[in-house]
Structure 1
Amino acid sequence: MKKTLISVAVAAIVSTPLVSFAQQAEQSADEKADERIQVIGSRLSVRTATEGSAPVDIISGEDLVASGFTETAKALQYAVPSFNFPTSSITDGSDAVRPASLRGLSPDHTLVLINGKRRHSSALVHLNGTTGRGSSNVDLNAIPISAIKRIEVLRDGASAQYGSDAIAGVINIVLKDNPQGGDVSLSVGQTYEGDGEQVKLHGSFGVNLNDRGAIVFSGEYHDKGSTNRAGLDPRQQYPTLPNGDLDPREDTFNRKNHHVGDAEFENTGLFYNANYQVGTGELYSFGGYSKRTTKSGAFYRRALDNRNVIEIYPHGFLPTLAPETTDVSLAAGYKFDIGEWFADASVVYGKSEFNYRLENSLNASMGPNSPTNFDTGTLIHDEMNASFELSRFFKFYNYSDLAVAFGVSYRDNAYQIQAGEPASYQDGGYDNRPAGSQGFTGFHPDSEVDESRNNTGIYVELENQLTENFQWAAAMRFEDYSDFGSNTSWKLSGRYAITDEFAVRATANTGFRAPSVQQLYFTNISTLFVNRNGELVPEQSGTFNNLSNVARELQVGALQPEESQSLSLGAVWNGHNGWSVTVDAFQIQIDDRIILSSSLIPADSPAVADALLVAGADNARFFINAVDTTTRGLDVVVAKQLDLDQWGQLKVQAAYGYNKTSIDAVNLPTILDGLQDKLFDNVERTRMTRSVPQNSGTLSFTHDYNKLKTHMAFSYFGDYVLENNAGVQTTFGGKVIVDASVLYQATDALGVRVGAQNLFDTYPDKQLPENQFNGIFMYPNTNAPFGFNGGYYYAELNYRF
């Protein structure tokens, strides 16, 4: 029996969760009994749902589908208040792969697992004004909702357990494993404004493999139209006529020339999850393929603009970024017994490819002969993880069981930048016009890299139910990296049941996040034309990695890991009649956070001037360990299930999250001392500390009555602050978003759902007039927590077999 429990635990990277309001909403009591032993964070597998020492949210796949959201990350945002997935527009590649974060920290402070195995991150680096500027994150939307059995969110530092990146917490996506049956759904909808049309077809089915295993295939096709909330452009569009009059076409020009809203995309995803009994062991494998083509706008180039060639675009043009994003993953492993020990050996490979493409553009320096479509380059990140783990139970104090696990892991990361086609970056010399493709300048051959790094980790974990009331756990991990050295992290946790209904729990841990290969090796050097005293002057500008001459001359030094110290203290109460309440407070201190600096120019200091001269560059920005921060917060979860007799059942769930980040210090190399306000200005300070709502929460009601299931949710997104380069701060007030849906289960197999997201058509506050760019950007185009599309209504047809 114990071997069986260990097998299940190790396979899923087990943990005991707190009661999850999402789990309660959809699962029966029998299902909960099965699920409770397969959750991240702990290795003891004989627990009830609220006996964990750290907070875990569980969101079932049925909950994700029932929310009506068509994107995995969006559905998770509305289920877990501490998870933030803001909307951005006109942010280059970030329009296609949006950043997401946990507990107000950076997107790359959250580790993502699939079936307990590390998931590769996107090749994209967020370079514009979004949350987590300078980071790369896992693209959750590359994983179809139809493939997901449940999502487990561990809201606690876990680097000692799982390795780098788990400073804010861990998201574990568990794939469907049903040996038979399946489902298929068709969803359609659009915004109240009549745009943003969506069609999504998704489903899954399981195949029994001779009663020795199963394989589940899942897939989706998702086509989404763009939304546009841009204001009208009041500026002069055409060159003034020779007689000084305005061109008469000014009166008929369509002044809604910008695209400020969600990008258009087409996404296809296929996943599988398989297991098969071989002797006393089990072979397992899972993986997937996702391809997405996105289209979003840059800034409009007016007909009179010197970035336009009037022979090609007589009315001006809107460059369209059309990147193609491809994610591939494959995992295989074998679980088996070695005497009293249970072993798990696995290899996981993942690859992210981000191909920048431009449509409806030109290279103005090539004149009328310029092409209008460009391949501007490709970013590639691939990752291979191999691990071997042993675990078992030992008899311990007072005949309790001590769960022991230790293992070794090896990871190899590689990063490539492939140059764009020559026309995307070359200077054609036409009429002193700006060089490079408009909207996104192509990667120059000088920017090409093909680098890799590897690391080896050794870890041990202990966990024990010492007495009937007291449970403790400890973990330690040592990792050695090929590029910056080693790191050791640890974790201690405990839970004490004061009464049968009330318990307290606490954790203390250190953590780390190794600089990603994207941050180590990303570089983009391009020629930009800058107005100097009324004359357009070409300048070599861009992002330089830490291997560059600029970084070397400024003695920036090699990037080092970010290190954290975390504490949490919580309480759990299981009352009578189905009540449960959990409250968890936390503090996370992070030293040497990596930032992407603003651009330095020769005038900033003699040292900078000398470094740029040696590098042959006119200005530069780079990644640097520069900031120490402290984040404090509170998470509250309340759940209640009411039996209404002949009126069915009502489930009530509430959750609240609070987080506040403060900057403790800005540390720079001696040669850059005095440039703190330049390298880490107020714009970046505000982005790091206030661009994410400090308060967020949800309150939802689900009523089951015969063939009807109604759902209503109230989601609160608190105020947040953005700052522009002129030093003007804007506070956007908190808003409540209401979602509602009705499901009619016509038969056991067939169901129809209709619903509305943002039922009352709520928009964020408008920007201050001085931030609206001539009235075009009425709403914040970065970091809007619930977007600025207004209401959305949809219908869905579900069939189970």
Structure 2
Amino acid sequence: MKNFLILTITFFFHTSLIFSQLQIAGTITDEEGQPLVGVNIIEKGTSNGTTSDFDGKYSISVKNDATLVFSYIGFTTTEVEVSGQQIINVILTEGLILDEIQIVGSRSPKRTAVDTPVAIDVIDIQEVATQIGKVEVNELLQYAAPSFNANKQSGSDGADHIDPASLRGLGPDQTLVLINGKRRHQSSLINIFGTRGRGNTGTDLNAIPSSAIKRIEVLRDGASAQYGSDAIAGVINIVLKDNVDTFTGSVSYGFYNANADVDISAFQEDDYGVWNTDGFRLDTEKDGNQIGKDKDFDGGSVKIMTNYGLAIGENGYANFSAEFLSKNKTLRPAFDFRKGFGEAAIDGFNFFGNIMIPVSEKSSFYAFGGRNYRDTDAFAFTRNNPTARNVISIYPDGFTPRITSNITDNSIAAGFRTETSSGWKIDISNTYGKNNFHYFIKGTLNASLEEVSPTDFDAGGHSLSQNTINLDVSKYYDDVLEGMNLAFGAEYRTENFIIFAGEETSWGIYDENGILITDPANQQQPVDPVTGDPRPGGSQGFPGYGPANEVDRSRTNLSLYTDAEFDLTESLLLSAAARFENYSDFGSTINGKLATRIKASDNINLRGSVSTGFRAPSLAQIYYNLKFTNFVGGEALESLLSPNNSPVTASFGIGPLKEEKAFNAAVGFTANFGEFTATVDGYLINVKDRIVLTGNFDAPSIPNVEAAQFFANGVDTETTGLDMVVSWRKAIDNGSIGASFVGNINNMYITDVKNGDLDEQTFFGERDKAFLLASAPRSKLTLNVNYEKNWFDVAIGITRFSEIELLDFQVYENPSDLNYSSYAALLEGAVDRYDPKIVTDLNLGFKFSDNLKLNIGSNNLFNVYPDQQDDWTEAGGYWDSVQMGFGGAYYYARLNVSF
């Protein structure tokens, strides 16, 4: 195998020499002779490219007959034919082509990411994708943006299927997502389990194909005054590809190392089943699911990506992307009540388009959008015998239900841009999006139906649709001060949240005669002959939504905004923004922002901002409701999540939800010194009336329910932190070498628990606090080093994930029952500590020709796992869902083509 690999690489190396190459070098400046940093230089019709360094210099190897394309935000794109030249110096002219997308956080056409008054990351997603083997957008951003965090869940119902993600440790719903500057709709899923995003909704970034993305702009600053609700932590703007006459595609395959680093010596065979030497039980389920490790590798995934653009007229385009993904489950060691612990399986197809049609020299029509479909499959908690939740004749050895889902995510935006003769730019658009989440529960049963129960159920689901109409007007004044940009606009948004019922057997409770119970006083549930307990109704694993759960609620929102940027001098920039919003269901709010940037020298910028912000409670947080089975320390607990507007909720002393209010402050600097650049930004974020999911209240008066939970404006938090991005790149011979350090240090504090007259430990106790704080990891530090020359490149990434502490289910136990001397000792014993871990990624690239490249590598090369815990964990596995993940090493190969 080794000799074969050497021969293969040697063959392709010699093949690549056949292609005639020419080394081009030069300097890129503006019209005043100032060097331009970070200009994109692409060999037209290929994926071969580079960027200019801090002196505006570049070097690239291309074919003799190539055409170079020079593009830079705020400047007109320029094409130059090589024609045998070895030195090509370029002067770029200021001014945007009509369809250029502005940098998020500034509506000025004269602003770039390095001179904005707030922290902005501009991420070339294709560059990141070729250096990281992961296949989803969340996973790509995890290693590219300093304060972005996302992780896989297991045993968290819908969160197993849509990954919650966040900025700066705040909630998934406190980051606004835009596409081409237009608001993206959120997912209809609300997270009620797991560690990250409990009680939050969020935007499903994985519904957007990475092959359609040109770049991602991450605004790491409060921006509610500029963009509205949800922008407390910042804004993620996804800019779609607009290239033409080039086809790019890739085929990748990857898989996980299933040899987990575990120690089973502390567990007895008769307590936890029959184990093999790798720490997996050897049990086979009746429905054909093998619950136990029988191979060294799992989670195999295939991803196929394509992108192609067509020219429309002189400056128009129609760019289309398609992706296919098929990913198998992973299976990792877990305890007896959780035999199916691991990542979900996914089969999905994604299509996106981005179109701009010129109408005149200064007017154009544009449209973009797409459809994402995913069929997912995840394990729920195991039902072990003896239990009233199982029917022995169907599953003699117990069973592990599977929660599967069909998720469809559709969106379309269309608009018209024009510029008047006096220089006013006008943009009118309408954006519509809908997320539909439909549950199907398999390998399960309705215990109250006993032997006649089906084993598969349509459990219903939920959807969220959003329609947004925008009017944006702006003008840049060259002759006012050193430059001034004015912008104002309006937005009208409608939202609709629906819960739809599943089939009757997925939610119904049946009597001894198999008749749906409608009169509990005169109809009796069947009783399990072994335990003597009543047999519960509904599909085990995830009970279906019934008619009592159905919701169809809407609201409207009207907002008006204005913002301005003033270049008071060549060195001093001041920006200000204000926004008024009125919601039909809770009233009005006004927010403002001030920011400044000072050029302290030719190499150093100082910047800072202060702002107020808000987030309106989502429709899901107000109206979502479900009766479900919650596993507490491996024991099933029938729980009710009551809607906020319910009399039941009010009877427990929980008030109506109101908006979250925030105050943001940031200060930082940017620096350029030769081949080095650095940005360092400190921040403070205070959030009042933060919406959380409460703890479990005893509910003896509610039939067939043991505990109740609610959404409430439950806590105030304070978050302080530091983001750092330092990079260096140097051209050497026919290649380049570079390094970057991306880091985030973060501290969140709960400053107040708003429990009123309710018991604090029940309302939002120590365990709930630990979950919230664990969603804001103390740090994430990444060092990336890459080298490229001719046909070969290598990238190494080293990431340190900080310590995380959670409190497990022991906190609900009597200290004496667990041999603790006091409750304080119990709390200490309940702490699950995950020590800092270092994960290493490696990527090797082999360029066979201008049109063909192979990447091979590994994420988490050394198969590092979080620290193993005891059997009180939230998810029932040997680890919880922490930021470094629990999948182990991932190996991959990707073949990239372009022509």
Same fold, TM-score > 0.5, yes or no: yes
* Cα deviation digits, residues 57-115 of structure 1 (max 9, x gap): 11112123212210110011011131111221111111001111110111111000000
* Cα deviation digits, residues 593-613 of structure 1 (max 9, x gap): 01111222258xxxxxxxx67
Supply the AA of the counterpart residue of 2:696. Answer: S
Deviation at 1:46, TM superposition (A): 2.6
CA distance in 2, matches of 1:266, 1:574: 45
Partner of 1:410: 492
The answer to whether residue 786 in structure 2 is matched with residue 702 in structure 1 is yes
Supply the AA of the counterpart residue of 2:657. Answer: L
Partner of 1:667: 754
Secondary structure in structure 1 of the residue aligned to 2:299:
coil
Deviation at 1:396, TM superposition (A): 6.1
* Range 594-603 or range 288-297, more displaced: 594-603
CA contact (8 A) 2:557 2:584 kept: yes
1:673-684 matches, within 5 Å, as 673-684=757-768
Supply the AA of the counterpart residue of 2:251. Answer: L
Partner of 2:466: 383
Secondary structure in structure 2 of the residue aligned to 1:195:
strand
CA distance in 1, matches of 2:74, 2:845: 25
CA contact (8 A) 2:170 2:775 kept: no
The answer to whether residue 661 in structure 2 is matched with residue 557 in structure 1 is no
1:616-631 matches, within 5 Å, as 619-631=707-719
1:79-118 matches, within 5 Å, as 79-118=144-183
CA distance change for structure 1 residues 20 and 633 in 2, over 3 Å: closer, same or farther? farther
CA distance in 1, matches of 2:877, 2:425: 58
CA contact (8 A) 2:73 2:112 kept: no
Deviation at 1:31, TM superposition (A): 4.9
| Aligned partner of 2:346 among 265, 272, 278 | 265
1:595-634 matches, within 5 Å, as 595-602=692-699, 619-634=707-722
Deviation at 1:526, TM superposition (A): 5.8
1:428-447 matches, within 5 Å, as 428-429=510-511, 430-431=526-527, 432-447=534-549
| Aligned partner of 2:188 among 123, 147, 156 | 123
Supply the AA of the counterpart residue of 1:593. Answer: R
CA distance in 1, matches of 2:449, 2:214: 53
Supply the AA of the counterpart residue of 1:658. Answer: I
CA contact (8 A) 1:26 1:62 kept: no
The answer to whether residue 416 in structure 2 is matched with residue 334 in structure 1 is yes
CA distance in 2, matches of 1:224, 1:26: 31
1:512-551 matches, within 5 Å, as 512-525=614-627, 541-551=639-649
Partner of 1:609: none
CA distance change for structure 1 residues 54 and 481 in 2, over 3 Å: closer, same or farther? same
User: Which consecutive unaligned segments of at least 5 residues does structure 1 have?
Assistant: 1-17, 236-256, 604-611
CA distance in 2, matches of 1:359, 1:482: 40
CA distance change for structure 1 residues 557 and 22 in 2, over 3 Å: closer, same or farther? farther
CA contact (8 A) 1:457 1:478 kept: yes
**Paired residue total:** 738
* Range 549-558 or range 126-135, more displaced: 549-558
Deviation at 1:23, TM superposition (A): 12
The answer to whether residue 809 in structure 2 is matched with residue 725 in structure 1 is yes
Secondary structure in structure 2 of the residue aligned to 1:362:
coil
Supply the AA of the counterpart residue of 2:498. Answer: Q
Secondary structure in structure 2 of the residue aligned to 1:746:
strand
CA distance in 2, matches of 1:761, 1:650: 27
Secondary structure in structure 1 of the residue aligned to 2:669:
strand
CA distance change for structure 1 residues 723 and 691 in 2, over 3 Å: closer, same or farther? farther
* Range 403-412 or range 762-771, more displaced: 762-771
Supply the AA of the counterpart residue of 1:440. Answer: F
* Range 476-485 or range 75-84, more displaced: 75-84
* Range 20-29 or range 294-303, more displaced: 20-29
CA contact (8 A) 2:609 2:665 kept: yes
CA distance in 2, matches of 1:679, 1:140: 32
* Cα deviation digits, residues 109-133 of structure 1 (max 9, x gap): 1000000011111111101123110
The answer to whether residue 573 in structure 2 is matched with residue 471 in structure 1 is yes
Supply the AA of the counterpart residue of 1:28. Answer: T
* Cα deviation digits, residues 275-326 of structure 1 (max 9, x gap): 0011231100000100111111111122433211111122221100001111
* Range 19-28 or range 447-456, more displaced: 19-28
1:96-495 matches, within 5 Å, as 96-193=161-258, 194-231=297-334, 233=336, 258-279=339-360, 280-340=362-422, 341-394=424-477, 398=481, 400-429=482-511, 430-431=526-527, 432-495=534-597
State the TM-score, normalized to the length of structure 2.
0.79
CA distance in 2, matches of 1:134, 1:273: 34
CA distance in 1, matches of 2:37, 2:558: 35
CA distance in 1, matches of 2:719, 2:257: 38
CA distance change for structure 1 residues 424 and 401 in 2, over 3 Å: closer, same or farther? same
User: Which consecutive unaligned segments of at least 5 residues does structure 2 have?
Assistant: 1-35, 43-47, 53-68, 76-95, 97-101, 259-296, 512-525, 528-533, 812-829
RMSD (Å), alpha carbons: 2.6
CA contact (8 A) 2:699 2:708 kept: no
CA distance in 1, matches of 2:473, 2:341: 52
Deviation at 1:43, TM superposition (A): 2.4
CA contact (8 A) 2:696 2:708 kept: yes
CA contact (8 A) 1:504 1:571 kept: yes
Supply the AA of the counterpart residue of 1:797. Answer: L
Deviation at 1:556, TM superposition (A): 3.0
* Cα deviation digits, residues 493-545 of structure 1 (max 9, x gap): 001111111121000000000001111111114699999xx9x9x97x41111
CA distance change for structure 1 residues 706 and 738 in 2, over 3 Å: closer, same or farther? same
CA contact (8 A) 2:839 2:861 kept: yes
Partner of 2:24: none
Secondary structure in structure 2 of the residue aligned to 1:74:
helix
CA contact (8 A) 2:490 2:559 kept: yes
Partner of 2:739: 652
CA distance change for structure 1 residues 729 and 48 in 2, over 3 Å: closer, same or farther? same
* Range 674-683 or range 34-43, more displaced: 34-43
CA distance in 2, matches of 1:83, 1:20: 23
Partner of 1:28: 51
Partner of 1:778: 878
* Cα deviation digits, residues 311-362 of structure 1 (max 9, x gap): 1122221100001111000000000124421110000000000101101100
* Range 475-484 or range 618-627, more displaced: 618-627
CA contact (8 A) 2:113 2:120 kept: no
Supply the AA of the counterpart residue of 1:732. Answer: Y
CA distance in 1, matches of 2:747, 2:659: 23
CA distance change for structure 1 residues 206 and 668 in 2, over 3 Å: closer, same or farther? same
CA contact (8 A) 2:40 2:72 kept: no
Secondary structure in structure 2 of the residue aligned to 1:161:
helix
CA contact (8 A) 2:195 2:774 kept: no
CA contact (8 A) 2:197 2:775 kept: no
CA contact (8 A) 1:21 1:653 kept: no
CA contact (8 A) 1:627 1:663 kept: yes
* Range 135-144 or range 717-726, more displaced: 717-726
Secondary structure in structure 1 of the residue aligned to 2:809:
coil
CA contact (8 A) 1:19 1:57 kept: no
CA contact (8 A) 1:288 1:329 kept: yes
- Sequence identity (%): 38
The answer to whether residue 687 in structure 2 is matched with residue 590 in structure 1 is yes
CA distance change for structure 1 residues 133 and 264 in 2, over 3 Å: closer, same or farther? same
CA contact (8 A) 1:111 1:170 kept: yes
* Cα deviation digits, residues 559-606 of structure 1 (max 9, x gap): 111010010000111112x21111110000001001111222258xxx
CA contact (8 A) 1:415 1:449 kept: yes
Supply the AA of the counterpart residue of 1:225. Answer: N
CA distance in 2, matches of 1:725, 1:526: 18
Which structure: larger Rg? 2
Partner of 1:69: 134
CA distance in 1, matches of 2:563, 2:485: 8
